[in-house]
Amino acid sequence: MKGLLALMRREFNLAFGGGGPLLALTFYACLVALLPLAAGRNPTQLGLLGPDIAWLALALASLLSLERLFERDYEDGALELLAMGPIPLEAVSVVKALAQFLAINGPLAFAAPIAAIALGGPVSLAPMAILTGLLGGVAFAFVGGLGAALALGAKRGGLLVAIVVLPLFAPPVIFGAAALDAVRAGQSSLMALALLAAYAAAAVALSPLAMAAACRNALD
């Protein structure tokens, strides 16, 4: 347990390095400000597209720090030491993904309602925006960790991570935006919320196994 806590502190400090949540939040704000320019100046149209734009920006902002999630440890030999240590690589992968969520995706989730309201959405969207943002953030962190592990040792790893991860980010974006659209329309958001939660749970359950296998393959 002490080893896991020490590893969590290390990963959390690394996730905050190089800008951490401030860089992600700044990038998110820039995307939210720029993407509506393509939707035109019609406030009604912008209000309809607001949740979709906010979720698309959330997914893109989550990509920023993924490349370095495993790459730093791979380059300096720390990953090999972790692989030989008492903590299984699967548990190491879970800790890295959780640190990514707490340092990057969590703050982005709490910025999501501000973005949705700024894009013309009603204030009543705020609670659902935070809830879906947190669930989506969990999915982004664990699926993104899988992409980062698969890109280990590759040239232009950031591009490879984006190619691997972006298609897998599509379901959370669809389910999260659908939940916000349902709330805005006065309909039940239970189905979209359940699908988003199921995707996040599957990512938490399966991604660490694939991350650990990808790390072992890179070390071999």
- Whether residue 8 contacts residue 96, with contact meaning beta carbons closer than 8 Å, is answered with no
156 vs 67: CA distance, rounded Å: 9
- Whether residue 118 contacts residue 74, with contact meaning beta carbons closer than 8 Å, is answered with no
Is the pTM higher than 0.75? yes
- For 68, 78, 139, the CA distances from 92, given in Å and listed in that order, are 15, 12, 17
The dihedral built from the CA positions of residue 35, 38, 43 and 44, taken in this order, carries a sign that is: negative
* pLDDT per residue as tens, the chain (220 positions): 677 777 778 777 777 766 678 888 888 888 888 877 766 666 666 666 777 788 888 888 888 878 778 888 787 778 888 888 788 888 889 998 998 898 889 999 998 888 888 877 788 888 898 999 999 999 999 999 898 888 886 666 667 788 888 899 999 999 998 998 888 888 888 999 999 999 999 999 999 999 989 888 888 7
What pLDDT does residue 151 have? 82
Q: What percent of the chain has pLDDT over 90?
A: 23
Half-sphere exposure of 151 (CA within 13 A, CB side): 24
- Whether residue 113 contacts residue 47, with contact meaning beta carbons closer than 8 Å, is answered with no
What pLDDT does residue 1 have? 67
